[in-house]
Amino acid sequence: MRYFLRIKYDGSKFYGFQRQNNLLTVQNLIEDKLKEIFNEDIKIKGAGRTDRGVHALGQCLHFDSDIVIKCSYLKRKLNRLLQNNIIVKNCSIVNSDFHSRFSVKRKHYKYKISFKKSDYNSNYYLYSKKLDIKKMKEVSKIFLGVHNFQNFVSGERDNYDCIIYKIKFEYLFNKLTIHFYGKSFYRYMVRNMVGALIDVGKGKATKEDIINLLNMPKTDKMLSTAPAKGLTLVKIYY
């Protein structure tokens, strides 16, 4: 039996999603509570690994067990045991060929920036002084489509190609939210794109810098990385 969960959590409470010894992570906590319910070791597979401080409104995961438990009960029981540290939004049974990571069609992330220091929460926003948002929007279009994002990814991979479908800017009440929609996002990729756009908004980087970073993998010129606290995994589409 393959169980599928959609969950949300406050990333400031965890050392990321991935299991780590002697540290509180999303995976550790969920697997511990599932073991209490199923009375067996459960290993979950997440749609992606959010880093320490990154939040989620729509993280997804699956796990297998031969024990049959009604999803409505499992959702209630898990939420009671997790005590609002993680909230299970949905629970369902899926086919055995479904995979929370490999079956993904699209992901939606958002990054939040506050321009008023007295009106921002340090766990959920990046504070910044004035940015040229018009220029940031213009330069963000360069990221659209398929590119080699090696200069925007942390760590080594066999393939750095990724497709970005849409980037949307929302400005309201001295706060800027940048939405990213794409097929896959690799480690630090959104944070590096946001950092690059912020550098553009501050006049520290140009459109040509971004173009060169996409067209010339392994270049020595690197731009800023936005901190994790402003980033949220909003939704995963299957």
What does each of the 238 residues of the chain score in pLDDT, given as a tens digit?
999 999 999 999 999 999 998 899 999 999 999 999 999 999 999 999 999 999 999 999 999 999 999 999 999 999 999 998 999 999 999 999 999 999 999 999 999 999 987 766 788 999 999 999 999 999 999 999 999 999 999 888 888 899 999 999 999 989 999 999 999 899 999 999 999 999 999 999 999 999 999 998 877 667 999 999 999 999 999 9
Specify the pLDDT at position 4: 98
Determine the pLDDT at residue 176. Answer: 97
Where do the domains of the chain lie?
Answer: 2-94, 106-237
Task: Please give the backbone phi and psi of residue 79, each rounded to the nearest 5 degrees, phi first.
Answer: -65, -35
Task: Identify the CATH number of the domain defined by range 2-94.
Answer: 3.30.70.580
- CATH entry 3.30.70.660 includes domain 106-237: yes
pLDDT value of residue 122 = 83
Q: What is the pLDDT of residue 119?
A: 64
Catalytic positions: 51
Tell me how far the alpha carbon of residue 57 is from its chain's centroid: 9
Same fold, 2-94 and 106-237: yes
List all residues 6 or more positions away from 73 whose beta carbon is below 8 Å from its beta carbon: none
Q: Please answer whether residues 59 and 17 qualify as being in contact, where contact means their C-beta atoms are separated by less than 8 angstroms.
A: yes
Instruction: With beta carbons less than 8 A apart as the criterion, state whether 188 and 222 touch.
Output: no
Query: What is the pLDDT, as a whole number, of residue 217?
Result: 81
Predicted local confidence at residue 179, as pLDDT:
98
